[in-house]
Amino acid sequence: MTLIEYKNFYYRYKGNEEYALNNINLKIEDNKFILLCGETGSGKTTLIRCMNGLIPQFYSGFYRGSVEISGKDTTITPIADLSTEVGIVFQNPENQLVAMNVEHEIAFGLENLGIESVEISKKIKEVTKITEIEHLLDKAPFELSGGEQQRVAIASILVLEPKIIVLDEPTALLDPYMAKKIIELLKEIQIEKQITILISEHRLDLVLPFANEIILMKDGNLIEHDNSDKIINGTNFHTLRLNKPVIYSIFNQLKEEKLFNQYIPTSISKVINYLKGL
């Protein structure tokens, strides 16, 4: 089922002469784990802002074409209504944590939707267990570490039961250990809830092993969207100035030296399976 669909979509921020997005045609389906990547300034964040109506309803600019969320036109559907379809976690979670403690933070969206208190308590218990933050309910957001804040932000979105959760550079402010834990958590959520997770990320080593699909962007253009194996073995991925995963660099070098003639693997487990088959 198609969750998000861009149709011939262009967008230019007010005051800019160049379009940030150019003729975007994209379909995002349900129950996927998707990596969005591209060079700095390629339009990834702008693409994400279109996914819940922030563009064009909040950010001033000029657009043509359309973006639909579960068939709803984002130009006329209130952002509050779209929030139950798409949840977005931005790079710095502290900026979207507004309540006095974690429990109230998670309850905030549900209270605005008029959900009964008994149901809110039930949902809070469920999402805090999944995100492993039951022990943080009484703490204020400013008392938490970066990784804990990220988990709270994810829980506050997850409790609304969206069909897709979008994250813009979720590991940017985290150390390697906590970054890995967050990506693993997101994969667990995707499998358990059978929803779509879309992550814009520069640290490709972390996300690539879990991704079903990859979206590549450059200069405001969507240049490729396909399954992960096909993307990383293609010309576009090779030529883009990205922080290539170590596993990619190793096997790409082996291919160039004619020592390997298979698809470049996306994870250690695929490498092990390949070696077992030798």
User: Looking at residue 173, what is its pLDDT?
Assistant: 83
Quick count: other Cβ atoms within 10 Å of Cβ 200? Answer: 23
C-alpha span between 207 and 189 (Å, rounded): 14
Strand order in the sheet with 86-89: 86-89, 164-168, 196-200, 33-38, 213-218, 221-227
CB 206 within 8 A of CB 198: no
User: Looking at residue 5, what is its pLDDT?
Assistant: 97
User: Looking at residue 16, what is its pLDDT?
Assistant: 92
Say yes or no: domain 2-227 is CATH 3.30.2320.50.
no
C-alpha span between 263 and 255 (Å, rounded): 9
Strand order in the sheet with 72-73: 21-29, 2-13, 61-69, 72-73
C-alpha span between 15 and 147 (Å, rounded): 36
User: Looking at residue 97, what is its pLDDT?
Assistant: 87
Per-residue tokens: 224: 């490729």
Max Cα separation, the chain? 64
Alpha-carbon Rg for the chain in angstroms: 19
Give the residue carrying structure tokens 């006329």: 76
User: Looking at residue 29, what is its pLDDT?
Assistant: 97
User: Looking at residue 278, what is its pLDDT?
Assistant: 65
C-alpha span between 29 and 19 (Å, rounded): 26
C-alpha span between 143 and 136 (Å, rounded): 10
Q: What is the reported pTM?
A: 0.93
Alpha helices in the chain (DSSP H): 44-49, 54-57, 79-82, 102-112, 117-130, 146-158, 176-193, 204-207, 228-232, 235-239, 246-256, 268-276
Per-residue tokens: 20: 């940030």
C-alpha span between 155 and 106 (Å, rounded): 6
C-alpha span between 247 and 212 (Å, rounded): 17
Inter-CA distances, 73 with 69, 139, 149, 204, Å = 7, 38, 32, 32
For the chain, domain boundaries: 2-227
CB 170 within 8 A of CB 137: no
pLDDT in tens, the chain (278 residues): 899 999 999 999 998 999 999 999 999 999 999 999 999 999 999 999 999 999 999 998 999 999 999 999 999 999 888 988 999 998 888 788 888 999 999 999 899 888 999 999 999 999 999 999 999 999 998 899 988 999 999 999 999 999 999 999 998 888 889 899 999 999 999 999 999 999 999 999 999 999 999 999 999 999 999 999 999 999 999 999 999 999 999 999 999 999 888 899 999 888 888 787 76
User: Looking at residue 161, what is its pLDDT?
Assistant: 93
User: Looking at residue 91, what is its pLDDT?
Assistant: 81
